[in-house]
């Protein structure tokens, strides 16, 4: 009897240990017609929690996509194979082996980390750029990565932060048999410049356009070469649009654009509108223009973010991180600027904890430091001063920043008096864009945070390869417009290479290229616009890091 009891106890303990060792998550293969929402509903969990567990999976995953799910209630995902069931109900007894593809213990799955499943095309650069982490940080969390990335492996990215949303990353894929016909429209003005001495082509005011156009073309050409080397068939047709509104009508009437899969150009907004009224292919507007806000055609794809998005990005960052700082908004004396700083103050005060936002503009052409000091909180209060530069007037901005760099010494004491202590202030500087008018040393001293549509890590493998290939082919390092030409062309063509309609790829995730971020938003019955922006911060050593 005692022996029997001993066996029973051992049996119970073995079951307990087995259950205790069983992990909380398993891998599930998505079936035809399932969405993350429908799967979450069957698992009796929130959709956002399932998406957090699978940050690189979109809301409507393709059939056979592998996702992580909680082991609890996983049997609810399998529909009964008994067609005679009255309501085709979900039964835990009818689990099919090809649906739950893996029930082994998954050691890397925890609620504490953002996870990533390595898929085809992933590199250390693409992963670190997307999640904004360092390669060294990945290696610390995943020592096995010292042997390289392994397809299908699940790796830890970083600690989870409550409320942090991980965007979906676009996965580059080249489908079989997807030849592309692309048109590139640029104002080379070959006929006009044919009469100009070659030494003068890239000189003087209007001829600066030649630099922009040539560099953009060279970058685009390199993107096409790169994709061709990856096996993509591309037929590229290049058209010289000559002077503004002189050749575009001839190109339209010749009907040479009718069979194109995408048209990159024109760089002029009015020409782009004319093209949108007659072509059927997606029309890629490749550079920023103030006039792009007037676009309305659903055929147009804006690749550069509108300026109002810069303000939204920065103010969102400030409100999310606000913890009782003293906020001052700097504008200039124009009516437009005064209106804007009041709008900014109102937006900030919608935050539950922000009651006061100081506004300051120049008096008699400049902002006296004394006026700043009356608004600022000294270090003795342990309150940090956040100053937002909300003017495009470089002189006003530089004047304000100079007032924030150093503070006045106390007056010399009279004989017999105790000297006063110097009053210091802690200042953090913010701006919607970076001005080249202000010395970087001053920006670094104030920890300047700003918004930009470009960011490049020069030490990255991708940046080094791009610079190397461009230098080899063109005997010069790439300019801003050369890199822009590469990024825009490569991203659009790579998305088309998936075999999908271009607009449909926009919901498949954000893409990062050499220095541009493409986060497209497709308006219903409207244009597609890129909202991809970076938030960067100056460090004391003059280096710049990506905050968002």
Q: Of 327, 313, 265, which is closest to residue 455 (Cα–Cα)? A: 313
**What would the DSSP string read from start to end of 68-105?**
EEESTTGGGGSBPS-TTSTT--B-TT---TTTS-B-S-
Asked if residue 448 belongs to a domain, the reply is yes
Contacts of 462 (CB under 8 A, 6+ apart): 123, 125, 126, 129, 514
Same structural domain for residues 345 and 447?
A: yes
Same structural domain for residues 289 and 361?
A: no
Per-residue pLDDT tens for 10-67?
Answer: 443 443 434 444 456 778 888 888 888 888 888 888 887 787 778 777 788 888 888 8
* Greatest pairwise CA separation for the chain in angstroms: 110
Q: How far apart are CA 275 and CA 14, in angstroms?
A: 73
pLDDT at 270: 94
**Percent of the chain whose pLDDT exceeds 70:** 84
- Would you say 264 and 220 are in contact if contact means Cβ atoms under 8 Å apart? yes
**β-strand pairing of 300-302 with 326-330:** unpaired
Query: Bridge partners of 117?
Result: 154
Same structural domain for residues 253 and 313?
A: no
**β-strand pairing of 520-522 with 528-530:** antiparallel
Asked if residue 369 belongs to a domain, the reply is yes
Same structural domain for residues 272 and 205?
A: yes
Domain boundary among 159, 189, 215: 159
pTM (predicted TM-score): 0.74
Instruction: Determine which helix (DSSP H) or strand (DSSP E) holds 402, and give its type and residue range.
Output: helix 394-405
Domain, as residue range, for 511? 180-303+462-528
Asked if residue 413 belongs to a domain, the reply is no
- Would you say 106 and 71 are in contact if contact means Cβ atoms under 8 Å apart? no
pLDDT at 147: 84
CATH number, residue 366:
3.40.50.2300
Q: How far apart are CA 137 and CA 52, in angstroms?
A: 20
Same structural domain for residues 56 and 145?
A: yes
Asked if residue 68 belongs to a domain, the reply is yes
Instruction: Determine which helix (DSSP H) or strand (DSSP E) holds 302, and give its type and residue range.
Output: strand 300-302
473 phi and psi angles, rounded to 5 deg: -80, -35
Asked if residue 378 belongs to a domain, the reply is yes
Number of structural domains (the chain) is: 3
**β-strand pairing of 357-360 with 326-330:** parallel
Asked if residue 542 belongs to a domain, the reply is no
Q: Is 37 left (phi over 0), alpha (psi -120 to 50) or beta?
A: alpha
Per-residue pLDDT tens for 240-289?
Answer: 999 999 999 999 999 999 999 999 999 999 999 999 999 999 999 999 99
Q: Of 51, 170, 39, which is closest to residue 115 (Cα–Cα)? A: 51
pLDDT at 474: 93
pLDDT at 410: 76
Asked if residue 11 belongs to a domain, the reply is no
Same structural domain for residues 243 and 149?
A: no
Per-residue pLDDT tens for 397-412?
Answer: 999 999 999 888 877 7
Asked if residue 3 belongs to a domain, the reply is no
Per-residue pLDDT tens for 209-235?
Answer: 889 999 999 999 999 999 999 999 999
Same structural domain for residues 229 and 355?
A: no
How many Å separate Cα 216 from the centre of its chain? 22
Instruction: Determine which helix (DSSP H) or strand (DSSP E) holds 403, and give its type and residue range.
Output: helix 394-405
Name the residue with higher pLDDT: 72 or 347: 347
Same structural domain for residues 131 and 41?
A: yes
- Would you say 36 and 59 are in contact if contact means Cβ atoms under 8 Å apart? yes
Q: Token pair for residue 68?
A: 């992580």
Q: Of 286, 290, 327, which is closest to residue 308 (Cα–Cα)? A: 290
Same structural domain for residues 129 and 79?
A: yes
Same structural domain for residues 400 and 473?
A: no
Name the residue with higher pLDDT: 158 or 443: 443
CA-derived radius of gyration, the chain: 29
477 phi and psi angles, rounded to 5 deg: -80, 150
Same structural domain for residues 299 and 319?
A: no
216 phi and psi angles, rounded to 5 deg: -60, -45
Same structural domain for residues 124 and 246?
A: no
């Amino acid at each position: 009897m005692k022996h029997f009891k001993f066996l029973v106890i051992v049996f119970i303990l073995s079951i307990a240990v087995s259950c205790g060792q069983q992990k909380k998550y398993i891998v599930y293969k998505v079936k035809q017609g399932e969405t993350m929402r429908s799967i979450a509903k069957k698992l009796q969990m929130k959709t956002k929690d399932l998406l957090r567990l699978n940050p690189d999976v979109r809301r409507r995953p393709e059939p056979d996509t592998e996702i992580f799910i909680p082991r609890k209630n996983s049997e609810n995902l399998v529909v009964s194979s008994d067609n005679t069931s009255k309501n085709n109900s979900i039964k835990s007894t009818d689990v099919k082996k090809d649906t739950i593809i893996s029930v082994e213990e998954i050691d890397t799955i925890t609620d504490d980390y953002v996870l990533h499943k390595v898929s085809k095309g992933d590199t250390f650069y693409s992963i670190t750029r997307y999640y904004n982490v360092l390669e060294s940080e990945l290696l610390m969390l995943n020592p096995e990565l010292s042997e390289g990335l392994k397809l299908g492996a699940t790796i830890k990215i970083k600690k989870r932060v409550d409320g942090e949303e991980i965007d979906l990353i676009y996965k580059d894929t080249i489908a079989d048999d997807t030849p592309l016909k692309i048109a590139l429209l640029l104002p080379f003005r070959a006929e006009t410049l044919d009469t100009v001495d070659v030494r003068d082509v890239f000189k003087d005011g209007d001829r600066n356009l030649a630099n922009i156009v040539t560099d953009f073309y060279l970058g685009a050409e390199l993107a096409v070469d790169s994709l061709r080397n990856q096996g993509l068939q591309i037929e590229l047709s290049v058209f010289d649009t000559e002077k503004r509104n002189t050749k575009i009508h001839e190109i339209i009437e010749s009907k040479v654009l009718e069979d194109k899969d995408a048209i990159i150009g024109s760089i002029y907004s009015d020409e782009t509108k004319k093209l949108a009224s007659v072509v059927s292919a997606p029309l890629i507007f490749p550079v920023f223009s103030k006039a792009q806000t007037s676009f309305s055609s659903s055929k147009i794809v804006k690749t550069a973010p509108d300026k109002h998005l810069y303000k939204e990005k920065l103010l969102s960052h400030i409100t999310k991180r606000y913890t009782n700082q003293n906020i001052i908004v700097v504008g200039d004396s124009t009516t437009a600027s005064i209106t804007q700083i009041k709008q900014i103050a109102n937006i900030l005060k919608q935050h539950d904890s922000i009651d006061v936002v100081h506004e300051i503009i120049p008096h008699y052409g400049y902002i006296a430091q004394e006026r700043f000091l009356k608004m600022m909180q000294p270090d003795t209060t342990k309150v940090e001063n956040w100053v937002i530069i909300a003017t495009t007037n470089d002189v006003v901005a530089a004047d304000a920043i100079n007032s924030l760099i150093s503070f006045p010494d106390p007056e010399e004491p009279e004989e017999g008096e105790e000297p006063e202590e110097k009053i210091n202030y802690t200042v953090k500087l913010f701006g919607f864009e970076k001005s080249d008018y202000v010395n970087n040393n001053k920006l670094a001293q104030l920890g300047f945070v700003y918004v930009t549509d470009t960011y490049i890590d020069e030490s990255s493998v991708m940046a080094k390869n791009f610079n190397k290939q461009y230098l080899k082919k063109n005997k010069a390092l790439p300019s801003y417009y050369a890199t822009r030409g590469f990024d825009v062309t490569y991203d659009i063509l790579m998305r088309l290479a998936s075999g999908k309609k271009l607009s449909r790829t926009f919901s498949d995730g954000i893409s990062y290229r050499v220095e541009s971020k493409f986060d497209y938003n497709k308006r219903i019955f409207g244009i597609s616009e890129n909202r991809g922006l970076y938030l960067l911060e100056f460090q004391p050593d003059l280096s710049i890091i990506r905050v968002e």
